[in-house]
Each structure stands twice: as structure tokens, then as C-alpha cells.
């Protein structure tokens, strides 16, 4: 077997950043000890600038706390904080049909309708991980119920809140399937139930077969229902390199779990293509959005460099290196590590900035908000730590 220890000297960087920087930053600032749940809108110094609670970020905090408890240290404080959020979200988070709202206010009253299927998605992860940490059977039942809700929304993810009408062609979105694959892994590992393996492998095949374009050598974000590509529309040409990169480490993990080296190798090759396509060769970093044909992109933030994209790329390249032994992935990891830590890290207040402009300059000083929370960055630090220690495979998440 190939020696893949070349990158292990980075272990103290990732371990210390997780334990001494990221975890304290969030746990000192995000818990709402009065009403329950968590504040995610944190300014550069960790102060709260808005108290609205976004469901997918709330459940991500529950998952992250339980993941730390389950795999890093059984710290009772982390479990108690997870229970705080879990209880608050179960009591306040759902409508009469059992669908999780997109957002609630500080006290728990709904502020945004349950239009986002990803509220269900992260409820699955949070409840499953809380079950593993606590043994609470009700959490297991809720994880399974939320998973059924998630799967049932495949053909119409936004339900009655969708803006699309009959004249707009129906398309499949990569985000739904990549997260379905990850949910199958989380449910298997947290519930100890291998019955999700068939669903996992079917979803993996969908991503690799339907969303991969052999001519362009990239993963598309949206494809027609038959798996063909719509190059005559902005939606059809839209690329999200971060999603594709994140999906590939989910799939490599699934391939390892199933003993499928062919899947690992295919996902690794896709990852390499995504990195080469998405890297900004003039200023460095990975673009947020792209048009596969280089046409104007409708999203004005397309050229920005976002924290989570680089978090996922660091994880993916390290995992690919550990699973394949190919030196090009170690090279990419080192490039990503150097660029990301020199641009996103805040030496004065800790944690990472979320949003840089194309040139790598900080565009917004927030550390958390409607989209950024206690998830991508700590997960990256934890997974990298475990990969370098040789303890990741077989752990949850």
C-alpha cells in the first residue's frame, strides 16, 4: 500500500484550529441560553447582529456538536448544548404537516415557510447524530421521519412555494442527490443500520452518471430529468464547483464503505477535473459559480471566493490522496491549504471569514449569518484531523 503520510505534518494546524479556535469561537457566542437553539448571525468578533434562527443552520449545529461528542471527545457540555437545540427545534420547528420551517424567530415563532428541502435534510443529520450520542429513541424516529419527508420531495423540492410554472422545463439538481448520498451514510453510521446501503449506491450512480458531462469534463449542477444537458439555458450551463467537489468526497467515502475502488477512482478523477476547471489561475482560489461555456453568469457573486468551497476542497483532496496515494492530490491540498489559510483566516478574532472577492480581499467581515454557521469549517478541521490520524473511515459524518 502506498505511503500517504506526506501531509500528516499538517495535523497540528488542523487539530489546534479546531480545538483552540473554531470550537471556542462558536460555543462562546452561539448558544441561546434563554430561549434555546443557537445564534448564527455573528459579527467578526462573535457578537450577535441578528437573532433569527435558520433551520438548516440550527440542525447543523446539533449535528456538529454530536459529531464532536461521538468522534472527538464525549464532552457532556457538547451533548447538553446539542440537547438544548434538539428540544427547541422539535418544539418549534415544524408546521402542522411536520415540515421544518426555513426560519423561526428567537422565541420559536415561524418567520419563513418550509420551502427548503434542506431544512429536512439537516434535521435528518442532527437527529441521527443526537441519537448516536444520547441513545434517545425519539431522535432516531425523527431522523427516519425527516428522511422520508426529504425523499418524498424529490420531484418538487420547494413544494407549493416553488416559483416555477409549467412552461419551465423540469430539471434535477445535484444538491438534492449529493445530500441524499450523505444522508444514507449518516443514517447507516449513526443508527447502525446497513439497509441504507442500496439507496446510497443508487444515488452515487445517479450523480456519477447523470450529472457528469464527458465532453466538458465537469459535474453539472442541473440536468434534464432524462440526464441530458441543457446548454441553451443559464440554468443548464450553471456550475457550482463547490457542490461538485463536496459530492466527490461524499462519494469517495461511500466507495470506501462499499469496498468499491472503481467508485473511489472515478470520483477522484472527477475531483481533479473540477479543481482544474474551477481554479482561478490569475488570482487563486476556486470560483463560486461558473458558466460551462464561459457565458455571462446571472449571479453577480459568481466570481467570489467562499469559505465553504475551499473547506470542501481541502477535505476532498486530502481524502483522495489518502485513498489513492496519487501525488497530484497532495499537491492540490498544499496549494489549497496555503491559499485558503492566508486569505480566509482571521488572526485577530479567530475563525474564518466567509466571503472574499475575486482578488482574495475580504468582502464581508461576518463570521456567521443566514448561510454560514458552525458546520463547513469545523467539519473540515475535524475530518482532516481524523484523516491525518488514520481514524476517519468508520466514523460518522
Structure confidence at residue 396 as a pLDDT band (50, 70, 90): very low
pLDDT digits (tens, 9 = 90+) for 85-94: 999 999 999 9
For the four alpha carbons of 155, 144, 192 and 391, in that order, the dihedral sign comes to positive
Its pTM stands at 0.97
Residue 5: what pLDDT? Answer: 95
What's the domain range around 63?
Answer: 1-162+366-397
> Rounded distance, CA 241 to CA 144, Å?
30
Q: pLDDT value at position 29?
A: 98
Check whether residue 290 and residue 175 sit in a common domain: yes
Shared-domain flag, residues 355 and 379: no
Mind listing the pLDDT tens digit for each residue in 319-338? 999 999 999 999 999 999 99
pLDDT (mean) for 341-367: 98
pLDDT, position 25: 98
Tens of pLDDT, residues 131-189:
999 999 999 999 999 999 999 999 999 999 999 898 999 999 999 999 999 999 999 99
Does the structure show a pLDDT above 60 at 250?
yes
| Strand ranges (E), the chain | 41-42, 48-50, 53-54, 103-104, 110-112, 171-173, 212-213, 218-219, 222-224, 238-239, 290-291, 305-306, 355-356, 362-364
Average pLDDT over residues 370-395: 94
The Cα–Cα gap between 288 and 303 comes to: 6
**What's the Cα-to-Cα distance from 376 to each of 25, 113, 198, 287, 300, rounded to whole Å?**
14, 25, 27, 17, 23
Instruction: CATH number of the domain at 32, please.
Output: 1.50.10.10
**Residues 67 and 115 reside in one and the same domain:** yes
Do residue 351 and residue 391 come from a single domain?
no
pLDDT of residue 265: 98
- What share of the chain in percent tops pLDDT 90? 97
Average pLDDT over residues 235-253: 98
- How does DSSP assign 147-203, residue by residue? HHHHHHTSS-TTGGG----TTSPPEEEHHHHHHHHHHHHHHHHHHT-GGGHHHHHHH
143 shares its domain with 202? no
Q: Are residues 158 and 255 in the same domain?
A: no
Per-residue model confidence as pLDDT tens digits over 268-286: 999 999 999 999 999 999 9
Q: Are residues 225 and 350 in the same domain?
A: yes
Torsion over CA: 8, 184, 248, 339 (sign): negative
Task: Supply the pLDDT for residue 212.
Answer: 98
| CA 140 vs CA 137, 186, 348: distances in Å | 5, 12, 41
Same domain, 88 and 207: no
Q: Is the pLDDT of residue 397 over 50?
A: no
| Same-domain status, 218 and 122 | no
C-alpha distances in Å from residue 162, one per residue of 74, 79, 143, 157, 256: 42, 37, 25, 8, 37
**What CA dihedral angle connects 175, 370, 42 and 304, to 10 degrees?**
60
Domains of the chain: total: 2
Q: So what's the pLDDT on residue 2?
A: 78
Q: How far is CA 230 from CA 187, 216, 224, in A?
A: 34, 13, 7
Query: Distance (Å, rounded) from C-alpha 145 to C-alpha 231?
Result: 37
Strand partners, 42: 48
How close are the terminal C-alpha atoms of the chain, in Å?
25
27-64 burial, b for 16+ CB within 10 Å, e for fewer?
bebbbbeeebbbbbbbbbebeeebeebbbbbbbbbbbb
pLDDT at 394 over 70: no
Q: What is the residue-averaged pLDDT of the chain?
A: 97
Kindly tell me if the per-residue pLDDT of 395 is higher than 50. Answer: no
Please state the rounded mean pLDDT for residues 76-101: 98
**Whether residue 219 sits in one domain with residue 112:** no
Q: How far is CA 142 from CA 36, 86, 98, in A?
A: 19, 11, 10
Do residue 254 and residue 379 come from a single domain? no
Query: Measured between alpha carbons, how far is residue 94 from residues 103, 121, 179, 252, 341 in Å?
Result: 10, 13, 21, 34, 38
For residues 229 and 295, membership in a common domain is answered with yes
Region 354-377: mean pLDDT is 98
| Nearest CA among 220, 241, 237 for reference residue 172 | 220
pLDDT level of residue 1 (50, 70, 90 thresholds): low
Mean pLDDT value across residues 2-21: 96
Amino acid at each position: 500500500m502506498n505511503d500517504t503520510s506526506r501531509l500528516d505534518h499538517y495535523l497540528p494546524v488542523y487539530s489546534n484550529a479546531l480545538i483552540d479556535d473554531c470550537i471556542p469561537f462558536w460555543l462562546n457566542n452561539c448558544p441561546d441560553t434563554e430561549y434555546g437553539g443557537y445564534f448564527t448571525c455573528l459579527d467578526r468578533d462573535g457578537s450577535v447582529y441578528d437573532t433569527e434562527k435558520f433551520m438548516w443552520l440550527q440542525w447543523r449545529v446539533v449535528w456538529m456538536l454530536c459529531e464532536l461528542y461521538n468522534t472527538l471527545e464525549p464532552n457532556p457540555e457538547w451533548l447538553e448544548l446539542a440537547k438544548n437545540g434538539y428540544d427547541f427545534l422539535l418544539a418549534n420547528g415544524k408546521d402542522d404537516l411536520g415540515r421544518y420551517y426555513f426560519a423561526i424567530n428567537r422565541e420559536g415563532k415561524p418567520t419563513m415557510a418550509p420551502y427548503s428541502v434542506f431544512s429536512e435534510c439537516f434535521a435528518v443529520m442532527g437527529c441521527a447524530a443526537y441519537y448516536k450520542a444520547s441513545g434517545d429513541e425519539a431522535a432516531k424516529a425523527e431522523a427516519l421521519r425527516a428522511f422520508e419527508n426529504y425523499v418524498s420531495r424529490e420531484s418538487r423540492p420547494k413544494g407549493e412555494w416553488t416559483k416555477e410554472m409549467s412552461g419551465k422545463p423540469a430539471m434535477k439538481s445535484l444538491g438534492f442527490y449529493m445530500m441524499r448520498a450523505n444522508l444514507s451514510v449518516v443514517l447507516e453510521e449513526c443508527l447502525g443500520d446497513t439497509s441504507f446501503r442500496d439507496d446510497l449506491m443508487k444515488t452515487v450512480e445517479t450523480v456519477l452518471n447523470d450529472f457528469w458531462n464527458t465532453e466538458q469534463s465537469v459535474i453539472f449542477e442541473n440536468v434534464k430529468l432524462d440526464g441530458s444537458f441543457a446548454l441553451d439555458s443559464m440554468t443548464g450551463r450553471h456550475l457550482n464547483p463547490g457542490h461538485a467537489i463536496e459530492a466527490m468526497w461524499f462519494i469517495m467515502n461511500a466507495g470506501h464503505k462499499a469496498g468499491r475502488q472503481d467508485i473511489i477512482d472515478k470520483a477522484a478523477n472527477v475531483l481533479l477535473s473540477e479543481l482544474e476547471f474551477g481554479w482561478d489561475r490569475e488570482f487563486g482560489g476556486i470560483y463560486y459559480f461558473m458558466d460551462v461555456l464561459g457565458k455571462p453568469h446571472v449571479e453577480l457573486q459568481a466570481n467570489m471566493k467562499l469559505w465553504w468551497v475551499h473547506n470542501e476542497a481541502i477535505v476532498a483532496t486530502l481524502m483522495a490522496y489518502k485513498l489513492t496515494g496519487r501525488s497530484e492530490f497532495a499537491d492540490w491540498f498544499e496549494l489549497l491549504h496555503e491559499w485558503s489559510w492566508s486569505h480566509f483566516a482571521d488572526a485577530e478574532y479567530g475563525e474564518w471569514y466567509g466571503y472574499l472577492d475575486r482578488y482574495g480581499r475580504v468582502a464581508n467581515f461576518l463570521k456567521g449569518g443566514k448561510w454560514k454557521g458552525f458546520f463547513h469549517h469545523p467539519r473540515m478541521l475535524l475530518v482532516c484531523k481524523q484523516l491525518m490520524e488514520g481514524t476517519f473511515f468508520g466514523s460518522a459524518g
